[in-house]
Amino acid sequence: MLTRKEIELLVVIVLGTFMYALDGTIMNIALPNIMAVFNETPDRAQLVVSAYTLASAIAMAASAFLIDRIGIKRIYVISLVGFLVGSMLCGLSWSSNTLIFFRIIQGLAGGLLMPCSMAMFVIFIPVEKRGIAMAAQSIPIMLGPALGPVIGGYLVTYWNWRYCFYINLPVMIIAIPLAIAWLRETPAIIKSFDLKGFVFVSVGLSCILYALSYAPTWHWDQRIIGLLAAGGMAITIWVILALRTESPVLEVRLFKMGEFTLSVVLIALIVSSMFTVLFLVPVFLQSLRGLDALNAGLLLFSNAIGMGIAMPIVGILYAKIGVRAPVIVGLGIMAFTGLWLQNMDTTTSDIMFQWVMFLRGVGCGFAIVPIFSHALSIAPSRWSTQGASMINVVQNVFMALAVALFATLLDNFQKTDLAIIVQSTTPDSPMMLNLLSQIQVKLMQAGQTAEASYYSAIALLYQYFNLQSSITAFQKDFVLTAILSFIGIVPACFLPHGPVKHEGGTVMMV
């Protein structure tokens, strides 16, 4: 059982990280309103989201040094205050430029919250309790992205887009005094700041994440390739410098540990599959089913319920049977539900869809909690904050990469399938002539002339072909997410098996 101090720690962590996770998706709903208010283009409005993501990545890169140098309690409280101030200023923005600038402030503060919370698990919670503790913390973190569209849709529809920022204020006002009262401080470690490494890793992550955020819109043109090349070059230079530096800003030598590398690879695969589906499903529901953001979010909520039920259970199982079995089971469920989603179309019932998303939530919960707990636990104690920072950076990069790739594939699949359908159904083919005549008769019965009904029938058929090609494109993307999960089962078989035991500050599987 968790002690009172450990429960207090979890409460403070949950309050901060939930709002950070919520802000990752709530703004997507408000972008059309922001575009209208400030008369901005879609690319310019996208900077509201991109600025937050880039600032968070830069903060994550520096988080390990700041935690060691200043102390984890001070940094966490400063982050909460910064997130509070940034949210308030975003809500008061009077132009798109000020909104983007204030989002950077909010992102810099928010980017420190996740590494701090993970580091606190390693520092303050014994290994044998981390499974259930990680489960308790992960529930609101997973609820955040799922609730974002629901809350954002309600606020934008019935209130104002500015309340998407103001909603953070009461939670932060509660979290700050609790953090001051309940958190314990860690001793400051005098160490030099790896400025060169920080510059290169920041430039690299910024270029890569910026490129990925615009890749589907810009269709992977020369701008995207150039940004990715510049980012890759900066990251390469950073790795070379980090291997030659005693205290790098991010400790790449962690990847010399095979078990840590294996865990990070699995984290990348799991978050890629999970967040890709969370990206694709709302798009499907809104663009093809015609649902608004609020109702689409409500349909997705069953996914969060599944995770919420599974996470406490797997947290207990992790301590008793280890990491391997829960991760394999979770990936198997994710793969199975990914394959089922390929059967989804506009006629799929809401109940069936909710049950599948609920089951997928269970699978995600089984996969996420033990692999994150294991990855954090196997990093040496001297690199515990570095491990937390590295895991967060990898997670964010692969989330962005997966969404960009699958959004591009979705567009390419749709165009290719539509071209195949159009080419195989020429206007003078018997099937087309039969369909056109049937539709034309119905339209003429509705009062249209013969000529008008003919052109209307062609337009309706094209809309139908476009709908079918779009459905097929989504189905292909869902199959690929299932393949990602199946691939993850292979490395998961090499994870250690057996109950977790705490011995001398390290994790042992017996």
Whether residues 83 and 183 share a domain: the answer is yes
Domain stop point among 154, 173, 191: 191
100 and 226 share a domain? Answer: no
Q: What are phi and psi of 248, to 5 degrees?
A: -70, 160
What's the mean per-residue pLDDT of the chain? 86
The whole-model pTM stands at 0.85
- What pLDDT does 502 receive? 47
- Count up the domains in the chain and report the number: 3
**Three-state DSSP state, 220:** coil
DSSP letter (8 states) at residue 413: H
Instruction: Indicate if 507 and 378 belong to the same structural domain.
Output: yes
Supply the range of the domain harboring residue 201: 194-248
Distance CA 457, CA 241 (A): 65
**6 and 114 part of one domain:** yes
Which of 229, 248, 267 is a domain's end point? 248
Instruction: Say yes or no: 144 and 179 in one domain.
Output: yes
The verdict on 294 and 420 lying in the same domain is: yes
Task: Say which DSSP state 127 is in.
Answer: G
**Alpha carbon distance 504, 393 (integer Å):** 28
Whether residues 357 and 497 share a domain: the answer is yes
Q: Give the SS3 label for residue 503.
A: strand
Instruction: Scan for tokens 């094209």, then name that residue.
Output: 462
pLDDT of residue 427: 63
Q: How far apart are the first and last CA of the chain?
A: 22
Residues 177-193: pLDDT tens digits? 999 999 988 888 888 88
Q: 135 and 66, same structural domain?
A: yes
Q: What is the pLDDT of residue 262?
A: 95
Contact 21, 180 (CB under 8 A): no
Q: Give residue-wise pLDDT tens across range 79-136.
A: 999 999 999 999 999 888 899 999 999 999 998 998 898 888 888 888 777 777 777 7
Domain end, chosen from 248, 276, 294, is at: 248
At 1, is the secondary structure helix, strand, or coil?
A: coil
Same domain for 143 and 178 = yes
* Residue 500 confidence (pLDDT): 65
- 109 and 167 assigned to the same domain: yes
Q: How confident is the chain (510 residues) per 10-residue block, as mean pLDDT?
A: 85 87 77 80 76 88 90 94 94 90 92 88 80 74 74 82 91 94 87 90 92 85 93 95 90 92 95 89 85 79 87 86 94 96 88 93 92 86 84 88 88 87 70 71 74 73 82 93 95 87 41
CA distances from 94 to 23, 35, 97, 427 (A): 20, 13, 8, 54
Same domain for 41 and 81, yes or no, is yes
DSSP 184: P
Give the CATH number, domain containing residue 262. 1.20.1250.20
Question: Do residues 46 and 181 share a domain?
Answer: yes
